Amino acid sequence: MSKRLKELHREVSKGLEGVVEFPRREAELLLMAYLGCDPLYFITHQEELIDENNPRLIEWIEKRKRNVPLEYLTNRVSFYSREFYIDEGALIPRPETEHLIDELLSRITPEAAMTVVEVGVGSGIISILLALHLPNARFIAVDISSAALAVARRNIEAFGLSGRIELREGDLLDPVTETIDLLVSNPPYIADDAALESNLSYEPQNALFGGEIGDEIIRRLLDQVYARRIALFGCEMGYDQRLKVQEYLKSFAVKSLEFYKDLASFDRGFILELNKENNE
């Protein structure tokens, strides 16, 4: 049976009431993604007849009613004005991670020939964006999850960067023996017992939870940065982890430590510089 787009919009919105914060808007996004259209088309084609029995449409609506993120239904996600493939094997990139990339790029000359390592590559967005801006850098990107690495591989290939970004499976820096000039990470940093919104239950849990307190992986990374004398480390963190990071670094001889905020003015990450040698 066919329904007019405006009626379908109303029905899908109703089905999403109590599930998402803005049902009408979410229903619009779902239908636009399903139709592959832009907002202008959506507004100007309200009378168009849509087959409401299409199995894909039914599946998407049913899954969205269970709060499965739209990105996992469409397998598309936008980040830093580019489109990436995404599935449930990797965390959905968040807009705040764009700040980490900007903070690092503002400190590096674009021509720099350097070895960049990312820990927790997920969908690959950070390494890919950095690689596009740093044409002479080589990248090694690590993840503990083979499902995440499969998503990263797909995106890296789509951007034609397979020759510059090498993927490795393992725990933090264990699979990397090379000298590292820049380490970047958006590690899991939420406390294991934190109560989260239901949509987050569809994302890989090892991408979200960083331990009992939450900052355990960040601290392990800081230890490795210090032990290996990595000159520059850019890291995303939770809005309430600034003091913990500052406290932990008190016993380290650091060259500089700067925190940055996200658009909502929450502390969101830090850039740590170490002297390459003699920083005891």
Ligand X SMILES: C[S@@+](CC[C@H](N)C(=O)[O-])C[C@H]1O[C@@H](n2cnc3c(N)ncnc32)[C@H](O)[C@@H]1O
Which C-beta is closer to ligand X: that of 27 or that of 271? 271
238 lies in the site for ligand X, by CB under 6 A: no
Query: What are the start-end ranges of the H helices in the chain?
Result: 5-16, 23-35, 39-44, 55-65, 70-74, 97-105, 125-133, 146-158, 205-208, 216-227, 242-248
Indicate whether 91 belongs to the interface with ligand X (CB under 6 A): yes
Least Å from the CB of residue 51 to ligand X: 35
> Are β-strands 267-273 and 256-261 bridged in parallel, bridged antiparallel, or unpaired?
antiparallel
Q: Does 121 bind ligand X (CB under 6 A)?
A: yes
Nearest residue (CB) to ligand X, 27 versus 101: 101
Site string for ligand X, 185-224 (x = CB under 6 A): -xxx---------------x-xx---------x-------
The Cα–Cα gap between 102 and 26 comes to: 29
Closer CB to ligand X, residue 8 or residue 222? 222
Nearest approach, Cβ of residue 87 and ligand X (Å): 12
Please list the alpha-helical segments (H only) found in 92-215: 97-105, 125-133, 146-158, 205-208
Residue 97 in contact with ligand X, rule: CB under 6 A: yes
Q: Which two tokens stand for residue 88?
A: 């449930």
Q: Residue 237: which of 272, 269, 266 has the closest Cα?
A: 269
Task: Give dist(CA 60, CA 263) in Å, integer.
Answer: 31
Binder among 5, 16, 101, 120 for ligand X (CB under 6 A): 120
Q: Distance between CA 280 and CA 268 in Å, rounded? A: 28
Which of 266, 178, 265, 189 shows the shortest CA–CA distance to 228?
Answer: 178
By the rule CB under 6 A, 59 interacts with ligand X: no
Q: Which is nearer to ligand X, 16 or 269 (CB)?
A: 269
CB of 277 to ligand X, least distance (A): 27
Q: Does residue number 171 form part of the binding site for ligand X (CB under 6 A)?
A: yes
Based on CB atoms, which residue is closest to ligand X, 30 or 90?
A: 90
User: Residue 234 interacts with ligand X (CB under 6 A)?
Assistant: no
For the bound state, the minimum distance from the C-beta of residue 215 to ligand X, rounded and expressed in Å, comes to 13
122 binds ligand X (CB under 6 A): yes
Q: Report the distance separating Cα 95 and Cα 262, nearest Å.
A: 9
Rounded to the nearest angstrom, the gap between the alpha carbon of residue 241 and the centroid of all alpha carbons in its chain is 18
Q: Which residue ranges make up the site for ligand X (CB under 6 A)?
A: 90-91, 93, 97, 119-123, 125-126, 142-145, 148, 171-172, 186-188, 204, 206-207, 217
